[in-house]
Structure 1
Amino acid sequence: MPAWAVEPFEIRDIRVEGMQRSDPGTVFGALPFRIGDTYNDEKGAAALRALFATGLFKDVRIDLEGPVVVLVVDERSFIAAVNFSGLREFDKDTILKALKDNGIGEGMPFDKAVIDRAEQEIKRQYLTRSFYGAEVVTTATPVERNRVDVTFTVVEGEIARIRDISISGNQAYSQSELLDLLDLTTGGWMTWYTKSDRYARTKLNADLEKIRSFYLNNGFLEFDIKGTLVTMSPDKQSIDIGITLHEGRPYSVAAVRMEGEYLGREEEFRTKVQIRPGEPYRGDDVSATVRQFSEVFANYGYAFARVEQRTELDRATGTVTVVLTGVPGLRVNVRRINISGNSLTRDDVIRREFRQFESAWYDGRKIKLSRDRVERLGYFTEVAVETQEVPGAPDQVDLLLRVVEKPTGSLMLSAGYSTADRLALTASIRKENIFGTGNYLGIDLNTSRLSRSMMVSTVDPYYTEDGISRAIEVYYRTSRPVNSLGSAYTLATPGATIRFGIPYTETDTVFVGLGAEQMRVGTATGIPLSYRNHVAIFGNNSTGFPVTLGWAREERDNPIAPTRGRYQRVNLETSLVGDMQYARANYQFQQYLPFLRKFTLGLNAELGWGEGLNGRPYPVFKNFYGGGLGSVRVFEQSSLGAVDVTGAYNGGNRRLNLNSELYVPLPGTGNDKTLRIFGFVDAGNVWASYQPVELSDLRSSYGVGLSWISPVGPLKLSYGLPLRAFSRDKIQRLQFQIGTAF
């Protein structure tokens, strides 16, 4: 039928019909006309387009009743709530976030296309975890105000596990050698933990790159992966993977040639070349050389320098010439440093760790150091720095630091009952990054009948703008040890310390501190002879004012679970005034050595020495203790050293600890380093002042253990046997430790 044009008229009123949920203001705000304007066909068509563009309506039409414009709308339904049934593999919040990222969630429009998209996204999430038989059924239930409750019922099915991985075309290396490179594995006794027998295309692609890198690193420059075949069983429960290779021949390096522009510093760049003529071609050496060239360029401000590599093959001789071409580009400076992801931690807590400054030349060394310092704070699970170009300014860049925060506090409450301690309550609150300031606050309380303590400690890592830290600790400890005669005696130690840390290099820190403490010894039958002697000289209450001086050098790649690097610390403590006058020194050395790609050797040595000053004896409660965790495993905790006539273990004023651990991946876990087994050999002892230090007194042990990087810190479970022990030594073969590497 012909369309009849409307004669223009003045609008006297605008009315909306069919609204149930939407705000009428949204409709009026989208209209291209108002009351008092002139209405015509062009404005009517524009109004329809604007209302459809809001996405709120399935249908819109305009009726004219004289000078009144009537807008008749048919609203889209909106999602009131999203519910799930049958979820076991995923947390509900994980699926909700994935749906929301795809435009599906509460308050969003509802239609059939939205439901189809949601079902496909849920299935895609399950595919990433090898649930290839997962099914999703959607139920939509209308509720008031034109809204819909959506329920996704999931039938997860069973996990599709890798049944077989085969490699063909390999001649230089056996299939077992190549399979050992892969993260994907067939089923094993530990795959319930590693999940390495679950197929994912992304994991397979990563494993293929590992094979490619392995061959390139052994000189096979013509290596190629001809194809991969992934076959799923009809019941979608098992998967077979076939990989076909073309190896080619290995090449050795004939020469390395540098071309292009090297800022007039060719000799400096030449010292960074890791490729050695006459040796087999290694892809890792070439990559390391390119990386170091790029770092040298970045150190001089060339953030976007390129180092192009190419190889010139001589198939007749089986040699290759490696050509490196330097293209520095423009030197740039850093315009702005931006930080994202820190919803709790304050910007200044992160910025004070930066060694690269704004409006300064771009310096790759300082940027890497800045990233490492932020990561060592321990407040973030991820830390990454991105270099971004500034539009219209080719000589400027912005740096974006992305962080992902993690919980840095812990609250522990526990209660227990025993015939010895009666009712014991333990509580602690510890926060590493309190209120996002970077400060530490800890409160510990123990109400055991035999051992009571209260301690408050705080650390300000930037007490001054120069990075000097300040730590304060106030404590009160009491204990009622039970001796071999069954009697209990009372010890109490109130005290307070303040310590400052002064960094003088990026890895070295000097510590100075001052403290005040008191030793209170109660009387009881069977009190240890060493404490009786202490009371005879100093009285039941004795005071000391220790001054500490220390130094630490941190060069490990990870303080919690290191795999390479070195750590050293020296601590000197002396008290020259008060009842107790003494000097005490302790030195610790740790070295971690990676080898054979998956193994790590950890070495630890600790020396301790203490002496009384000005003719006074060394205070017994400053003794070192040996045996057990952190010392010589297999021997009972603190059981080494002298034993007095009451059967009490008093430790000694001299200590030697030697520890070694060899970490090996747990069979079946692939390359996972969070769960490993280790073998250990320990040796050490403590000596009292009246005992000569003789190596023949050393106790030693060996054994195996399990190491797990748990959410609360590194955890160790060890079982061992004594190598050298004496008849009176107390043996404890199974021991448990959490919180530290050694």
Structure 2
Amino acid sequence: MRKTIILILLGFKLFAGFKIIDVQFEGNRAFRSKFLMEKIQSKVGNEYNEYVLRHDELKLLMLYRDNGYFDVEVKKYIKVNLRKKGVSLKFKIEEGMLYPIKKIEILGNFNIPRDSILSLLRVKRDGPYDALRISLSNYAIMDYYSRKGFAYANVRDTFVVLKDMGVIVKFLIDEGKRVYIKDVQVENRTKIRESVLKKYITLKKGEIYNPEKVTRIKRDLLSTHLFGRIGTKTEGELEQKDSVVVKFILYPSKLLDITFGGGFLSPEWLIAKGGIVKRGILGGEHRLKITGEYGFGINGGRKDNIFLTFTSRDILYSPFNLILKYKLMEEVKDYHSFLKVYEGQLGYTHSENRGGYISIKWKDENTVSDTASYQSYERVLSFHTEVDFRDNPFDPTKGIKILVNLAHGGGFLGGGNNFQSYLFRAGGAIGIGKLVFEMFGGTGKVFYTDLPTYSSLFYTDGRTTVRGLPAYSIGGIVDSLTQKRYYDEFKSFNFQVKYRIIPSLYFIVFYDGLFIQTNYLSYGLGINYITPVGPLRLEFGMCESEKNFVLSIGGIL
């Protein structure tokens, strides 16, 4: 030991001020030199340091041994260049054999079956020894025990090396005692009713204590946006008592939001928008949202929209959501068009990415010009469901989304225009590095004896967007007053490749298709910027059949 210290001090004196001018690795087959370089501190340009070099040698040894190379040897060589006042380093590595796991032993599991624990492991018999995966296995076992009520369970691993054969890996489990909930306390510093809290805080006295369930409750409470912050305390956990008191502390949130904004609704319309949202009405899960829009037509005209939405997630303490909507949409050009929609929705959210609703709408459509007028009204009963397994609804890199909508309109509740319709849309994304490939497909059809209101038909610039076609520009059904065109049956696809320039900003190339009486194909390019409230896209597309070159703004699905 004394000799080593003297050599290190001598090295400091001899090579003081020398820089490292080269670092090389020899004999490394398991890891690339670039990877090994990231693990050490002796890098080109750094000042030579004998202590750091010895520490790097030890790091390389531990790296190999942690990955199953127990016979590894690492030797360092130093070459001094007095003229350049520099040092060249070489690490010569003799890796030896990669030791496989010959046997896995589970010890101390008195309450959990061995097979259940084996299914949690990140390593397998006859697979390579990997210290990181074994460490992750320890945490997985402790997490599993915690969910089963053994909150104080501890796991450590050890191994036995069988020379030139393999490794025996042992997991030593100290289960501790099963922990129960002694009491559940809520310190409510908000005005939210107790009935809402009981809906989410489902812990009960006497049940097994599960820290993961406490975390899930906290997350669900925050998702209501009724609380600014939620604190939790578990009395007795630090002392490892066999019963604990779980306490939730609820802090108030800002329940009134006022928003202003604007932008392009489409290439034809510039929209100014404002709104107000009030949450926590009457201390429950009730929300009122009022939004107003005023649009200026690029080629003249105006558009006024008013939207009122009341949402309740607290209907007789059931899992259903009630949504009441009112829309008043007015458009003035060389015609005057009104659309009024009253809608009630009864929805059910199965999970964060699965849900649906049944709705009934009262729709009144009225258009007047200098020469004629048009009026139609209908009642529509529809069923809508969707699943979204994409990792991000606005900026997906993987996963799929499926949407289904079925509708029946007709002479019930004073309506007219009998029809039935379906709409099916599906899409997915695959990310590879900075590239994201997205594909969307859809089909829909309206069956009718009497023509339904135009808003119940399909049109470009909606869910069947084909970039390169103006809004309401194709279809065999024509509104003679507004000259807008619609269609009652379609198939479509959208394919695009996105290249990430910087986070949230993409360059895209796309190819779209819409198939009705005539096939329309479109291609182009553009820019996508993902904002916190949704994607903003600016795209130019050329439709092959129409020879149009059109700006598109908005979303596809």
- Determine if the TM-score, normalized by the shorter chain, exceeds 0.5: yes
Distance 2:64 2:217 in 1: 35
Aligned partner of 2:32 among 155, 173, 178: 173
Aligned to 2:150: 302
| Residue pair 2:69, 2:99 contacting (<8 A) in 1 also | no
**Partner Cα separation in structure 2 for residue 718 and residue 247 of structure 1:** 55
Q: TM-score, normalised on structure 1?
A: 0.54
1:441 aligns with 2:301: no
Q: Deviations over 1:10-33 (max 9, x none)?
A: xxxxxxxxxxxxxxxxxxxxxxxx
CA contact (8 A) 2:181 2:204 kept: yes
For 2:443, the equivalent position in structure 1 comes to 607
1:617 aligns with 2:463: no
Q: Hey, what does 1:20 align to over in structure 2?
A: none
Aligned to 2:302: 450
Task: Name which of 483, 501, 504 aligns with 1:675.
Answer: 504
Measured in 2, the distance between the counterparts of 1:367 and 1:310 equals 32
For the 8 Å contact 1:341–1:404, the answer to whether it is kept is yes
Cα distance change, pair 475–344 in 1 and its aligned pair in 2 (3 A): same
Residue aligning to 2:489:
654
Alignment of 1:206-605 (within 5 A): 249=95, 251=98, 253-255=100-102, 256-282=104-130, 285-313=133-161, 316=164, 319-337=166-184, 349=196, 352-354=199-201, 356-363=203-210, 366-367=213-214, 369-374=216-221, 376-377=223-224, 389-390=236-237, 394-399=241-246, 410-413=257-260, 426-431=273-278, 437-448=284-295, 450-481=302-333, 488-503=334-349, 508-524=354-370, 540-577=374-411, 578-593=415-430, 602-605=438-441
Q: In 2, distance between residues paired with 1:511 and 1:572?
A: 11
Question: Which residue, 527, 544, 551 being the options, matches 1:726?
Answer: 544
Whether the 8 Å CA contact 2:477–2:487 is kept in 1: the answer is no
Structure 1 distance, partners of 2:36, 2:292, is 54
SS of 1:546's equivalent in the other structure is: strand
Q: CA deviation at 1:511?
A: 1.4
Q: Is the 8 A contact 1:561 1:741 kept in 2?
A: no
State the Cα distance separating 1:473 from its structure 2 match. Answer: 0.6
Question: What is the SS of the residue equivalent to 1:352?
Answer: helix
Amino acid at match of 2:320: I
Q: Secondary structure at the match of 1:301?
A: coil
Preserved CA contact (<8 Å) 2:70 2:99: no
CA distance in 2, matches of 1:379, 1:222: 59
Residue number in structure 2 paired with 1:69: none
CA shift in 2, pair 1:609/1:217, >3 Å: farther
Give the match for residue 684 of structure 1.
513
**CA distance in structure 2 between the partners assigned to 1:542 and 1:559 by the alignment:** 36
CA contact under 8 A between 2:509 and 2:525: conserved in structure 1? yes
**Code of the aligned partner of 1:616:** D
Q: Secondary structure at the match of 1:325?
A: strand
Read off the aligned partner of 1:731 and give its amino acid letter.
F
d(CA) in 1 for partners of 2:495, 2:246 = 42
Residue 261 of structure 1, CA deviation: 0.9
8 Å contact 1:628–1:636 — kept in the other structure? no
**1:546-596 residue CA offsets vs partner (Å, 9 max, x unmatched):** 112223335455555455544433222212312222222223334455666
Q: Judge conservation of contact 1:262–1:326 (CA < 8 Å) in 2.
A: no
Report SS of the residue matched to 1:394.
Answer: coil
**Distance 1:587-1:424 versus aligned 2 partners, 3 A rule:** closer
Secondary structure of the corresponding residue to residue 304 of structure 1: coil
SS at match of 1:370: helix
**Amino acid aligned to 1:468:** F
Q: TM-score, normalised by structure 2?
A: 0.69
Secondary structure at the aligned position of 1:516 is classed as: strand
CA gap of 1:509–1:328, structure 2 versus 1, over 3 A, is: same
Distance apart, 1:460 and its partner CA: 0.9
What is the aligned-residue identity percentage? 13
Distance change in 2, residues 1:686/1:479 (3 Å): farther
AA partner of residue 364 (structure 2): Q
- Is structure 2 residue 534 aligned with structure 1 residue 714? yes
Report the residue type matching 1:714 in the other structure.
G
The C-alpha deviation readout for 1:63-111, integer Å capped at 9, x for no partner, is: xxxxxxxxxxxxxxxxxxxxxxxxxxxxxxxxxxxxxxxxxxxxxxxxx
Q: How many Å separate the matches in 1 of 2:375 and 2:322?
A: 29
Task: Name whichever structure is richer in strand by fraction.
Answer: 2
Structure 2 vs 1, CA of residues 248 and 715 (structure 1 numbering), >3 Å: closer, same or farther?
farther
Cα shift at 1:471: 0.3
Per the alignment, in what secondary structure is the counterpart of residue 241 of structure 2? strand
- Indicate the residue corresponding to 2:11 in structure 1: none
User: What is the SS of the residue equivalent to 2:293?
Assistant: strand
Q: 1:721 to 1:474 in 2, by over 3 A?
A: closer
Moved more, 371-380 or 462-471: 371-380
CA 602–334 in structure 1, closer or farther in 2 if over 3 Å, else same: farther
Distance 1:378 1:216 in 2: 49
Q: CA deviation at 1:366?
A: 4.2
Q: State the alpha-carbon separation in 1 of the partners of residues 146 and 423 from structure 2.
A: 41
Q: Could you say if the C-alpha distance between residues 644 and 625 of structure 1 is closer, same or farther in structure 2, counting changes exceeding 3 Å?
A: closer
Matched ranges for 1:16-55 at <5 A = none
Cα deviation, residue 519, structure 1: 1.1
- 1:663 to partner: Cα distance: 5.9
What are the superposed Cα offsets for residues 419-475 of structure 1, whole Å, 9 maximum, x if unpaired?
xx9999743223456687443221122345621222211111222312211100112
Instruction: Return closer, same or farther for 1:332/1:495 CA change in 2, 3 Å cut-off.
Output: same
Distance 1:220 1:442, change over 3 A: farther
CA spacing shift, 1:603–1:396, aligned 2, 3 Å: farther
CA separation of 1:272 and 1:611: change in aligned 2, threshold 3 A: same
Contact 2:256/2:279 (<8 A) preserved: yes
* Matched-pair contact (CA < 8 Å) for 2:378–2:452: no
- Classify the secondary structure of the residue corresponding to 2:546: coil
Match of 2:46 in 1: none
Q: Which amino acid aligns with 2:289?
A: G
Q: Secondary structure in 2 aligned to 1:293? A: helix
Measured in 1, the distance between the counterparts of 2:270 and 2:439 equals 41
Distance 2:270 2:501 in 1: 41
Query: How far does the alpha carbon of each residue in 1:628-657 deviate from its partner, in whole angstroms, 9 at most, with x for none?
Result: 888344544554545859794423223444
1:568 and 1:678 map into 2 onto residues whose CA distance is: 25
Deviation string 1:231-269 (CA, Å, 9 cap, x unpaired) is xxxxxxxxxxxxx99999584532333222152422222
Q: 5+ unaligned residues in a row in structure 1: which ranges? A: 1-165, 182-210, 224-243, 482-487, 528-534, 668-673
Tell me, which stretches of 5 or more residues in structure 2 are unaligned? 1-20, 40-59, 73-89, 296-300
Per-residue deviation, 1:478: 1.3
Deviations 1:9-65 (A, max 9, x none): xxxxxxxxxxxxxxxxxxxxxxxxxxxxxxxxxxxxxxxxxxxxxxxxxxxxxxxxx
Which range is displaced more, 565-574 or 655-664?
655-664
SS at match of 2:236: strand
